[in-house]
Every structure is written in structure tokens, then in C-alpha cells.
Structure 1
Amino acid sequence: MLYRHYICFLILSIFAFPNALKAFQSDSLCVNGLFKHHMVLQREKSIPIWGTGKPETTVHVSLNNQRASATVQPDSTWRVQLSAMIAGGPHILQITDLRDSISIDDVYVGEVWLASGQSNMEFTLGSSLSWAEEQLHADFPNIRFFQVVHGMNNQQQHDVQGSWVRSSSATAAAFSGVAYHFAKKLHQEKNIAVGIIQSAWGGTPIEPWISEDALSSREETKPSVIQARESGAQPTQLYAKYLQDVEAFENASEGLRLGVHTLAYQDQHWKKVSFPLQVSSIYGDETALYIPGCYLWVRKHFDLSSLDKDATLQFDELEGEAAIYVNGTEIELKNAQGTSQGLVLPKSVLKKGRNLLAIRLRSLWATGTVGHSEGSVSLVIGTKHIKLDGEWLSNISVEPRYPDLPKERNNPGVLFNAMIAPLIPYSVQGVLWYQGEANTWRPRDYQFMFPLLIQDWRIRWQQGYMPFLFVQLPNFGGNNLAPADESWAYLREAQLMTLQQPATGMAVSIDIGDATDIHPRNKKDVGLRLYEAARHIAYHEDNVYSGPLYRRMEIKDHKIIVYFDHAGDGLISKTASVEGFKIAGADNNFEDATATIVGNTVELSHPSLKNPTTIRYGWAADPKVSLYNTAGLPASPFRTDK
């Protein structure tokens, strides 16, 4: 019923707002920004190609011995449809009219997937655990990423910014870690080109990724659409102002202008601090004021009685982007990472008596550290080892802090308009989705909003039940930047319920998160689990593609017997005893259950419960769980009480 209602609403809105279909008008021949050198086209599906030009002129398109023509419409748009092609390449795509010609080289036909969501989809391969290994073997010229430039808009856009980049040791670090591992496995197994269209943005809830038309079709979300429209907010202009403020932050130099790096600067009013020197430890509860980023200045005065040799400034820990000054002279060190960093200080920069060490540390999301404890920063002169501990001084307000993104970025439909609509109708095999953290504050709404997004995108792409694969939220216990509670369990439940939608698959990640980091660095296993789902749902292989999913339970002899789908050849526990199950009676007072695996079932009991009625598994933000199938895929958290 929801699906049918939305189709009717969409048709009506298209006829009611014809200008929404109007593209940017230009007399010059243009093609949508997805069509660029090194692009990948979806194999075995028709190939739409579209753009703008001078009205009433004819546009000719040729690709691999196929030719098609189209007349540019009065609204300046044109579109042709080429027949499906088998995997292969390289090809040249030619687009011409009477005056202009566009030639696009190194075009391959293979598999194309759209990777979308928030920060854990955007999380780069270069920041993931596997990067040290992958960097040595990332030269896959037929794995190509198109990274959609961030943007937000009140109106559906018809062009997109970005470029296709071939995977190499020099380029792959910037790719989505999850999507890269998915693409790599797909490329190696199918031996064809793989294109990933990466359209993701950290910190975003689901609402801006759904079109206004779809959200207006639901009574629960229609008021938010009306409110956003009536506010008169202009997200495009607000985002442009935000980018200007980001540039000002990146080029900040107020500290140098004031002479903060010099001995003469007066710092009596600065905050007295001790190790570790980092935003989150120094400013504690105030940390949220300096997210997503700031520049932390720290200063340390020290005395020297003699200067007969060069010195070494030793950091047992220095992480983040730092600028280091001694008595006003910058000591070159950029993007330091790790431990045991040593800097040679020529004796010419030092002086007898009073000296100054000043450090400007760039902090993003409260990262960046100078020294972990007393004595972790020191000066070595010959055999002398001078500890630079004791009192340091800190100031976080010298430079501008990183600007906050406009709250309008979360308005209904604005990311769909700017980052999804311009991709349609580019043929894709399916969607990879990793999002939900930003919706944990109202997790039950996700039960209808996530299916609504899937239906919305499928209707607009007109590719039938386009495979939609998603990641269930990992375990996360919360930290001082992001709290976590039972709402995470409810959000995972909403994701589990979305499997009722056809041609969907879920990669469970409850065992590979990070208890204290909302951005777990193990992206390889996430990508590989998505690939297992794709093998079955998109490529129709007979494989175990999911971890165990709760099917039903049976109460028998003071025990509860739990049956699972996707048990494979049997259930196993990765720990000596099966962890994660809780059991309750009619009072819903849950206790840790004694769990025993019997073939494809789990038997649960508790010595004080003679009449158990209800069970839960992994029902917490950061649960201890251990149930897998023999394919090594973890069971999804679930509950039987509603």
C-alpha cells in the first residue's frame, strides 16, 4: 500500500511541478558530469546518456559501434538510450552536434554500484586498518571511483561534480574503505571492471537522502517538509558561506600575527594544563564547543644554563598536524603520526636562560596529541636529558574554530536533490548503504523511513527491484563525543525489519565495531560481508550470504528453543560459552541465559525461570555476542518482546 500510494503521489507531483524537470539551460553541448574519462558503465543493462544543448539541434552519440541520436528539447535537455553491452573495454564515447564534440576515453563496461550513507561509508581506505597492506597492492586500474562532491539544494539538480579515478597506491587512500573492499572482491571474482559511485556525507541522517515527494507522502514526515519549505532557508547559499568559513579556518594565522610563537608574547592569562596535551583531555566537558575542529596552542617555558651542542626535541607521542616553534623559529614537522618523534634543534635557535617551545596542534574531532604523560616531551643535549613536564599553558581561542555545517543540511530532500537526483537514470547494479548513527535519537522512525528511501530510489531509477545492500550498525559503547544507549539496539532492529523489502541484504557488523569509536577502522570485513550478500541477491549465486537471523522460538520443558534462518551447515560460538542471550518470564525481568547450541538451534534456560516467555540477543549498544554460522557470519541482534 505504501509503495502504491507513493507512486501516485510522485506522478501527481511531476505534473504539478514541471519546472522541477527543467535542466540548466545552455546553448553549448554538455553531458552529465558522470560521463567522463575512465568511467564504468553497467553491463547487460540499457545505457542512458543525457545532457543539455541548443534546443532543436540534433545530438549524435556513438559507443562501440552503437549509434543513437536525439533532438534537444525546448528546455535544453537531450537523452539517448543505447542497448545493453557485455563487459569489456576500453571504448571511446563520442557525443557531437553541429558545433561541438565531446570525446570520452577509457570507457569500460562492467559492474556499477552506488555507495551512499554517512561517515562510516565515507570513511577512507587510508584511515582503515587494512591500509598498510592495501597500499602495497592497490594498483587495480579497472576499479574506478566517482566521488560525488558534497552539496545540498532545495531543487533537484541535473548535473553532478566529480571525476572517475582509477585505483592505485597513490589514489586508493581517498576511497571509501567499505566500498573499496567490496569492489576489489567483485573485480577479482568476476574479472571485470568495477565502478563505484560514492555519494556519502558524514553526520547525515536519512531524511535529507529521501526526496521531498516521498517524505510528503507520509503523514509522519509531511510536516517537516512543509516547515522546511516555509522557512525560506537557502541551503545552497548557506553551504557556500560554510565553505568560505572552512577556507578561513584552513588559512588561519592569527596566532602568528599576534606572536604567540615568540618568547615576548604575554601568556599570563592562558590556561594551566598538564599531559596529555589534547583538546578532549584539557577541555573536558567543553570539548563539544570545539567540534568538529580547532587549533590548540600550547606553550612551555624552559631554562638552559649552557649551549655547547645542538639539541634534540623528543616526543614520545606526537599525533596529528602540528606546527612547532622554538623561540619564534619554526621547526619543520608536518602531519606527524605515531611515537618517538625526534627533532634536531640547532643551537642557534636556543639561548642561555629563558626559552620557549610553542606548538600549534590542529584538532579535528578532538584528535591530535602531544605527549601522553609527564616526561613524554623532553630536550636532549649531549648526555643531558631535560624533561619538559610540569606546567604548560594552553589557549584554544587564538584561531577560529572549524565552522559548523548549516543545520539545513538535514532538511528533507536536500541531499537527494544535490547528490542523488543528478545520478538518475545512470544504470547501476545496486546500492550499498551504510547509515543510521545519526538517526539513533529516533530509531523507531527508521522502521518506515528506511523502506521509504529504498522505494523512492527504486521508483526513480526504474530498474525494478534494484538490489539494496546495507550495513547493520556495529557495536559501540559511546564516548565523550557521541553517547550510545539502547536506541542503537532499536535502530538495528529497524534495519533488520527492512529485510522484509524484496532484494535487500544486510551485513551484520555487531562483532567488528569499536566500543569507544563511532568510526570502527575494520572496513575490510564490512565490505566482504556486503559482497557475500551481493553474490546471492544481485548475482544469484547459491551461497550462505547472511549471518543467522531469528525465525521463531518454541517453549519446551522450561527451556526456549530458538530457530534461525541462514544457519548454514550449523551454528557455532566464537567463545567457550555462547554469549549475548538474555531470557525473561512474564515480568520481562531479563537475566543472562545459559545457551547451548544444538545443530541449527540454540537452547536457552535460566535456573530461576520455570516459565520463560521472552528472549533477547545482543540487545545493547555494545553487547558481547558470539553466535555465528559455519560460514563465519555473525547473528543479528534481535528480541521477541515488542
Structure 2
Amino acid sequence: MSTACHRHWPQRAALATVLSMLALPVLAQSHQPDAGNRVLDALFQDHAVLQRDAPIPIWGRATPGDSVVIEFDGRRSRSRADASGHWQAELQAHRAGGPYQLSASTGSGQQQTVRDLLVGDVWLCSGQSNMELQVQRTLDSRSEIAGASDDGIRLLTVPQVGAASPQAGFGKAVAWQTLSPDSVRDFSAACYYFARELRKTVPVPMGLINAAWGGSRIQAWMSEAALRQSASYDRELDVLDTYARDPALAVRQWGTLWQDWWSQQSTTTPWAATGNGKWTAAPRQLTAWESWGVPALADFNGMLWYRTRVRLTAPQAAQPARLLLGNVDEVDQSWVNGQSVGSSYGADEPRSYALPAGLLQAGDNLIVVNALDTYRDGGMVGPAESRALLFADGSRVALDEAGWQYQIVPPAYGTPPRAPWQTAAGLSTLYNGMIAPLGRYGLRGMLWYQGESNTAEAQRYAQLLPLLRDDWRRQFGGERAWLIVQLANFGNVPTTPVESEWSQLREVQRQVANADPHSALAVAIDIGESSDIHPANKQELGRRLARAARHVAYDEALPASGPVPVSAQRQDDAVVVTFSDITGALVARGADQPIGFQLCGEAAGSCHYADARIDGRQVQLRASGSAQATPTRVRYCWGDSPVCTLYDGAPLPAGPFELPISH
């Protein structure tokens, strides 16, 4: 599967729900589940943690124009609901402690009290599947879960909901939980182990907010305003704005943009009845294309075109209808009779697209699907009964009867644009549904573990990551600590110097962290697993994140991570790399001297492994073997899953880097 979390194929909808299924799909709408007589926002409830030593923002809803009185630990604040019913207030800064009660009452008699609140440090943990990865999937998980009993750690998981516009409330109910074996089992392991480690030296309550989604791209976590600063997504964001108002129109607009992209790669129009190139019959039982026995697809990550034809009667074609495609791993762009009808992301997301009136016709109807897969299995992977045209009268016409044909898209075409409303792969969708509802909730800082889904666009990531950081700081206020997990080792272990998209993205993460005094990097290059993109050793990752936090959030005089490269200079026949932030001394693990250094020229493919020797706070490099060209760059620990052995006495590894050589 291409996404991090696999869910079972749902049972077919009952006939009674057919008519409701024919409604156009929309992303989450703004609402507050289970609001009842709630005066306080859902974030403020039993067991919550409020941020210490700073004014505390509080908000909620009441009758428009109603007065609101908020009381907390003997202190009172007042507010008034605006014309939409929203109110907000600010409590005075408070030192760490608790438990306390927080109450809100209105002039019209509404009243709410929440209990067992603590005041301490609140951390937002976000990213993709390695931040989402649960404690139960980590090393020694049975013991870790059984021992979870610290009442000073509180947990809140943000529901996974995407939205086309910023939401005032969550799409599902949320709850702060005290730490227990039951509550920690499915909570973010990286987030929990970080707080557990941090409390050893910062003994105040810790509130952990986990907002993560497996397989998500950075673009989905950024607000529209932040993305527009990049000037790369204006057309897509315009379509997303349309989608919030008129999904059917947005689907057509997006189809035009997607087809424009395709036309830059090819003169064919596979979604149309003519000009479609050469098609090959697909197996009668559609499964992941890797299992078809076709050599070209045995280990194929990329795009495949599918098409089939369905014959309809005039009464069928005249009805409202929905196209059901089942599960597609992992992105589809779909057409009916040459018109774009939908695009979705996620192997666990059954496709269901409403068809505009008049699109279907009596006789033959052409169904075309472009499927993009970037990881492991790919294609139309749902059971045959999941693919059908579903009509308003409850009848169905199977899509597989006439058989499917396919075309392989050359890898050189690259990756197509993603529909901006896709949840984890879209634009602003996860910000709108998962970050915007957090409002101005008080935070000490943020942990960011993401990038696996953006490794093919490191140059763009270099622009987006600082925009994301600044975007969230504007929302939550101040120069909040920003902790970045550098991507762990995963994939092939190199035997010769190689170019690596994963390394390029790691270098971006390093540079962004280094450029900001309130940011720090947690190096994970030695605690990944070459055969598993979700390494289980989140305990050590938590230790490194806690150390980084102690440096940037608590001003401790200790290095934030392991040895940091400062410069690379030519000295006689050697290149000398100087390091700072060393605890103790530089050491090589497993050999007399470190391995993993490369000397490179300007061109790609010009790197050679170097002989390295530790000399105090420096590493001296000399060309190895027949490498005679004058190097201009030093690379260390480069590759998807490199072997690199330079550490300090903490013990922490020197992370991957690339530096120009100066004279």
C-alpha cells in the first residue's frame, strides 16, 4: 500500500443510502461536534494543559451579543460574543502547576466548567506517518505501554480531517486524555517519548497535541496565504477556492489544468475517444499491477492509464449517477466521456464521484482513469464489485464486464500535479482541517517530522519549509521553538557514491534549521531501517528531540544535536572539515577512522569516497585511490540509506551535509 495506514475495504453501502451518496463530495464543513451548551471551545476541556508564563488565549461560542465571564484560579476575564457568536478573551500569564478549574458563564445563563487542568508546556507534534506512528508499533512496546502512568503528561489527537477552507472547529470530537496504557497505545510515539524524556530535566506538565497524517505532503499543512507567497500554486489555489463553493465546477477546472500538464509531455489524449495510442488488455481480475506478471510493472512506481467502456440504456443515462472506482493506490485522475469527474488521494479511500447531468449517454460510455503510485503496490486494487456506475434508482452497472485496458506512462514524464482538494496530497487541506481549528492555543513549540512525500522536490521544499515555520508562528504567536526531524536512513545502502533525492531533502532540513536561532535539528540518519520507512526506535528519536528542545526552548548550554560542520578548507594536499557543537571528542565507530566522506567536483556523479582521519575537532580528507580531480565540495553520509560512523561523546552522530570547499 502507498499510504502509511491501511484500513479494510468498507462494506457496500445499503440501498437506503444510495440517494444520499449521489450528492457531490465536499471536504469538512465548519462545525463544533457535540457542542450542546458548550461555551468554551472544544480545546478547553477536562485534563487540558495551558501554556505557562504567557498570556493564555481563551475562546468559544455564545449567543450573539451575549456577555461572557471567564474564571481561572481566582482570576477573571470578560468578553462579549460578536455577531457570529464567537468570543475570545485572554487570561493573565500563570506559572506551572495544577490541577485547576476553568469556567465560563454568559449573561443569558449558559455555564460550563472544566476540571483537572494543568499549566505547563504545550507542544504541537505534526508531520506524516513517522510522526503519526503509534507507541504500540515501537521497540519494546508492551513494556512501554504498561509503564505509561505519568499524570504530568496529557494527550490530544487532532482528528484527521481535510477541508477546502479554514475551519473554526474540528471535524470530529476531540478529547484531552490523561496518560495511561489505554491512551498512549495509539498516540504518536515520537511525541510521547519526546515529552517523557524532556520531563527528566524540565519537571513541568507537558501537553501534547498530535496533528499528523501518513503520506502527507508539506503543501497540505500550509495556509493559502503561505502557499501564495511561493508564487507556484496560484492557479491550483484558485481552483481550491472554487471547490469550497462549487465542487462540480472546480472538478472541471482542475481537469483542464491536469490536461494542460499532460499536453506538455505528450501529444496523445488518453482520456478521449480518439488519439489514445496503443492499449493492452489488463487481467480480468484487477489487482496491484506489480502482481500482473508483466516484467515492466514488476517493480514499477509511476503512472498507468486504465480505460473501459460501459453500455447504457437511455433510461439509465438519464438518471443522476455516481462513478464508483473502489480503491486506487494511490492517486487517481478520472474521466467519463472525456470530461474530468474527480481526483482523490489515498489507497484506503474508495473513489466515488458524482456525474454531472447529461454526461452519460445511451450506448457506449468511456471510463478512463490515470493512476499514480509512488511506493510499493499500485493501481486499481479494490474488488470487482467496488467498480460500478450507481444510479439514483439503486441499480448498478459493473465496470469490469467489458474488461480494462492499460498504458504505461514513461517515467520521464515525471509526476503530475495533484488536485488541490486532496486531503494529504493537496494544498492547505490539512492546515484548514487540522491546524486552523487550533486557533491561537498557547504553545511552547512545534515538532515537525515530514518530508518522505516530498523527496522528489528538495529545491521547492527549501522554499516551503521556512514558509510553513513562519506561517505557524504567526498563528500561534512569537518565535516558538521549531524542531525538525531530519529524515532517517531508508532504502538502498550505497556501495559507491550516488546522487540521492533523500539526501538533498536532508540537506534542506539541515540548512533551514541552521538559519533560524529558534530552530534545531534532530538527526536520525543512524536510527532508521533500510527496509522499513517507519523505523521502530522512536525512543532514541525522542531523546534527541528533547535535547534539541532543551537547547532552543530552555536555553541550556548544550549542543542541540551531534557534531555540526562549520567549514571545509583546502590545506596542502588535504581538505579539512571543522566541526563545532561537539560533546567530548570526535570518535569513529567500528573502525580506526570514520567512513562516509566524499570529495566531489561541480558535476553530478563526480564524487569519490575519501580517506578520513580525525584530528581533534577536525576531520582531514584525502582523495582515495585514483581520484585525482580537484574537489569543490565535501559530502558526508550521502545516500538514501548511507553508512556513516562519525560521532561525539554524547553519543550523537554527525548528520548528513554538503559543504563547498574554500581556500
5 Å-filtered alignment, 1:81-100, equals 81-97=90-106, 98-100=108-110
Match of 2:410 in 1: none
Which of the residues 518, 528, 547 maps onto 1:513? 528
Match of 1:568 in 2: 583
Matching of residue 594 in structure 1 with residue 592 in structure 2: no
Which of the residues 471, 474, 496 maps onto 2:488? 474
Q: How has the CA–CA distance of structure 1 residues 51 and 586 changed in structure 2, closer, same or farther, with 3 Å as cutoff? A: closer
Match of 1:174 in 2: 186
TM-score by length of 1: 0.69
Match of 2:508 in 1: 494
Cα distance, 1:527 vs structure 2: 1.1
Partners of 1:89 and 1:488 lie apart in 2 by 44
Match of 2:632 in 1: 613
Q: How has the CA–CA distance of structure 1 residues 609 and 292 changed in structure 2, closer, same or farther, with 3 Å as cutoff? A: closer
Does the CA contact (< 8 Å) of 2:240 and 2:420 recur in 1? Answer: no
Cα distance, 1:608 vs structure 2: 3.6
Partners of 2:178 and 2:300 lie apart in 1 by 39
Partners of 1:235 and 1:540 lie apart in 2 by 49
Cα distance, 1:187 vs structure 2: 2.5
5 Å-filtered alignment, 1:234-245, equals none
Cα RMSD (Å): 3.4
5 Å-filtered alignment, 1:111-190, equals 111-160=121-170, 161-190=173-202
Partners of 1:96 and 1:153 lie apart in 2 by 31
Q: How has the CA–CA distance of structure 1 residues 203 and 56 changed in structure 2, closer, same or farther, with 3 Å as cutoff? A: same
Residue identity in the other structure for 1:70: S
Cα distance, 1:569 vs structure 2: 2.5
Residue identity in the other structure for 1:593: A
Q: List gaps (5 residues or longer) in structure 1.
A: 1-21, 239-268, 272-277, 294-364, 368-394
Match of 1:68 in 2: 77
Cα distance, 1:581 vs structure 2: 0.5
Match of 2:298 in 1: 285
Which of the residues 632, 635, 638 maps onto 2:651? 632
Cα distance, 1:575 vs structure 2: 2.0
Matching of residue 439 in structure 1 with residue 451 in structure 2: no
1:52-96: CA deviation from partner (whole Å, max 9, x where unpaired): 111121111111111111111112111111011111111111111
Which of the residues 109, 112, 134 maps onto 1:102? 112
Q: How has the CA–CA distance of structure 1 residues 112 and 27 changed in structure 2, closer, same or farther, with 3 Å as cutoff? A: closer
Matching of residue 526 in structure 1 with residue 541 in structure 2: yes
5 Å-filtered alignment, 1:356-505, equals 397=383, 408-409=422-423, 410-462=425-477, 464-477=478-491, 486-499=500-513, 500-505=515-520
Cα distance, 1:201 vs structure 2: 0.7
Q: List gaps (5 residues or longer) in structure 2.
A: 1-29, 251-282, 305-326, 331-374, 388-417
Cα distance, 1:208 vs structure 2: 1.2
Q: How has the CA–CA distance of structure 1 residues 24 and 399 changed in structure 2, closer, same or farther, with 3 Å as cutoff? A: closer
Does the CA contact (< 8 Å) of 1:581 and 1:615 recur in 2? Answer: yes
Q: How has the CA–CA distance of structure 1 residues 427 and 510 changed in structure 2, closer, same or farther, with 3 Å as cutoff? A: same
Match of 1:580 in 2: 596
Cα distance, 1:139 vs structure 2: 1.3
5 Å-filtered alignment, 1:12-27, equals none
Matched pairs, number? 481
Identity of aligned residues (%): 34
Partners of 1:197 and 1:203 lie apart in 2 by 19
Matching of residue 80 in structure 1 with residue 89 in structure 2: yes
SS in 1 for 2:433: helix
Cα distance, 1:152 vs structure 2: 1.2
5 Å-filtered alignment, 1:239-388, equals 285=298
Residue identity in the other structure for 2:635: R
SS in 2 for 1:524: helix
Match of 1:552 in 2: 567
Cα distance, 1:641 vs structure 2: 5.3
Partners of 1:86 and 1:55 lie apart in 2 by 33
Partners of 1:235 and 1:521 lie apart in 2 by 41
Does the CA contact (< 8 Å) of 1:27 and 1:55 recur in 2? Answer: no
Does the CA contact (< 8 Å) of 2:165 and 2:241 recur in 1? Answer: no
Does the CA contact (< 8 Å) of 1:536 and 1:543 recur in 2? Answer: yes
Partners of 1:226 and 1:68 lie apart in 2 by 41
Residue identity in the other structure for 2:638: W
Residue identity in the other structure for 1:604: L
5 Å-filtered alignment, 1:198-217, equals 198-217=210-229
Partners of 2:595 and 2:121 lie apart in 1 by 39
TM-score by length of 2: 0.67
Residue identity in the other structure for 1:616: R
* Larger CA Rg, structure 1 vs 2: 1
Cα distance, 1:104 vs structure 2: 0.6
My pick for the range that moved more, 529-538 or 86-95, is 86-95
1:434-487: CA deviation from partner (whole Å, max 9, x where unpaired): 00011112111010100000011111222x2111001000111169xxxx9711
Q: How has the CA–CA distance of structure 1 residues 61 and 450 changed in structure 2, closer, same or farther, with 3 Å as cutoff? A: same
Partners of 1:235 and 1:118 lie apart in 2 by 27
Does the CA contact (< 8 Å) of 2:102 and 2:117 recur in 1? Answer: yes
Q: How has the CA–CA distance of structure 1 residues 593 and 399 changed in structure 2, closer, same or farther, with 3 Å as cutoff? A: farther
Partners of 1:596 and 1:400 lie apart in 2 by 61
SS in 2 for 1:215: helix
Q: How has the CA–CA distance of structure 1 residues 399 and 120 changed in structure 2, closer, same or farther, with 3 Å as cutoff? A: farther
Cα distance, 1:158 vs structure 2: 1.4
5 Å-filtered alignment, 1:30-49, equals 30-49=39-58
Q: How has the CA–CA distance of structure 1 residues 172 and 27 changed in structure 2, closer, same or farther, with 3 Å as cutoff? A: closer
Does the CA contact (< 8 Å) of 1:28 and 1:52 recur in 2? Answer: no
1:230-257: CA deviation from partner (whole Å, max 9, x where unpaired): 5668789x9xxxxxxxxxxxxxxxxxxx
Partners of 1:520 and 1:136 lie apart in 2 by 21
